[in-house]
Structure 1
């Protein structure tokens, strides 16, 4: 999707500051910009608008306002650029923890909006890619453990070697057009059902 076609939501209670952000976005070729000045019910508004990117400007944020925005950031799973006039180390760390892609302190200038937005999108995409890769690695590890358990069950119950047990799992998976991990899961589940339970 070309950057210019991004749907961008700007959340800013200060209309003057919002117009600075909007001008920076429009100057950068972003025409699909929605401004929201009232943060009441903002989660619902975000769901309605369904933006690709969110820009939040908090002129003079208090701790509660920041925490609300950080909770929002965790929930929406989109690139978020946040401008604040002042901050402390704890707020910066909380922003990073919440997944805010760009947290800019005392830097709201029209000419900075585009590069900051681009950075927020890039960082969000990089983080999303890393998260996907981590999830894939975890899934692969879980699958391997499952296959190992299934091989162990076959080796014990049928007196097979490890290689023969794996070959049987593989052949069954191919015959059923399924993944080896799925066959392994079925075998582990079935073996669990066949184990003698407590007789109490």
Structure 2
């Protein structure tokens, strides 16, 4: 998907992208609803060509990056350090200053895709680790509740919690959270 307010600049992308085997599935302006366009066209990569990204464009990109993540390449004619930092925080994968140069387009897109995939893998791993830590914390807390209320030792409390999870077809962490929630109600 190509995002550009200048029809002549948008047209300049067409031939180099087609030569690389890419297809422009949508061409929109920076004032368009980028989230809706991404939902509608499901692009593999978002290319943005602007003189300098404004706050609204960066906010729209941030929403897209959070809700429909994909590689984002931003071409800018001019920029400053703070704008680059805001763009990266908004989810821009590659920030290229001095506009489009067709010979550089293929490696720029490849690097953006590779960086996006690496970042996405790290984010997934981080979320999985956070969930495991939360599960471990909640399991320990639930075992503590069972040990105190039923006067059990730790292995017996763990076995009881595990049996509760199996009976309800829940993950152990989810069963622990359910037990904690029920205990808080009482």
Pick closer, same or farther for the CA change 1:80–1:53 going to 2, 3 Å.
same
- 2:25–2:41 contact (8 Å) kept in structure 1: no
How many residue pairs align between the two structures? 181
**Structure 2 residue 105 is matched with structure 1 residue 113:** yes
In the aligned structure 1, how far is the partner of 2:26 from the partner of 2:32? 16
Aligned equivalents of 1:73, 1:132: Cα separation in 2 = 20
CA distance in 2, matches of 1:93, 1:32: 27
Structure with the greater alpha carbon radius of gyration? 1
2:38 is the alignment partner of 1:41? no
Correspondence for 2:62: 74
1:82-161 to 2 correspondence within 5 Å? Answer: 82-161=74-153
What TM-score does the superposition give when structure 2 sets the normalisation length? 0.88
Distance in structure 2 (CA, Å) of the matches to 1:42 and 1:182? 38
Question: Is the 8 Å Cα contact of residues 72 and 93 (structure 2) preserved in structure 1?
Answer: yes
Corresponding residue number in structure 2 for 1:20:
12
Shift of residue 76 of structure 1? 1.1
1:159, distance to aligned residue in structure 2 (A): 1.2
In 2, the alpha carbon distance for the partners of 1:33 and 1:41 equals 15
- Specify the SS of the correspondent of 1:51: coil
Stretch moving more, 172-181 or 75-84: 172-181
SS at match of 2:54: helix
- Tell me if structure 2 keeps the 8 A contact 1:151–1:166: yes
Question: CA RMSD for the aligned pairs?
Answer: 1.8
* Matches of 1:159 and 1:90, distance apart in 2: 59
SS in 2 for 1:83: strand
1:145-175: per-residue Cα shift (whole Å, max 9, x none)?
1111110011111111112111211122233
1:190 aligns with 2:144: no
C-alpha displacement at 1:32, in angstroms? Answer: 4.3
TM-score if structure 1 supplies the norm length? 0.82
Superposed displacement of residue 106, structure 1? 1.2
Tell me the residue number matched to 1:198: none
CA distance in 2, matches of 1:108, 1:41: 22
Whole-angstrom distance in 1 between the partners of 2:146 and 2:31: 59
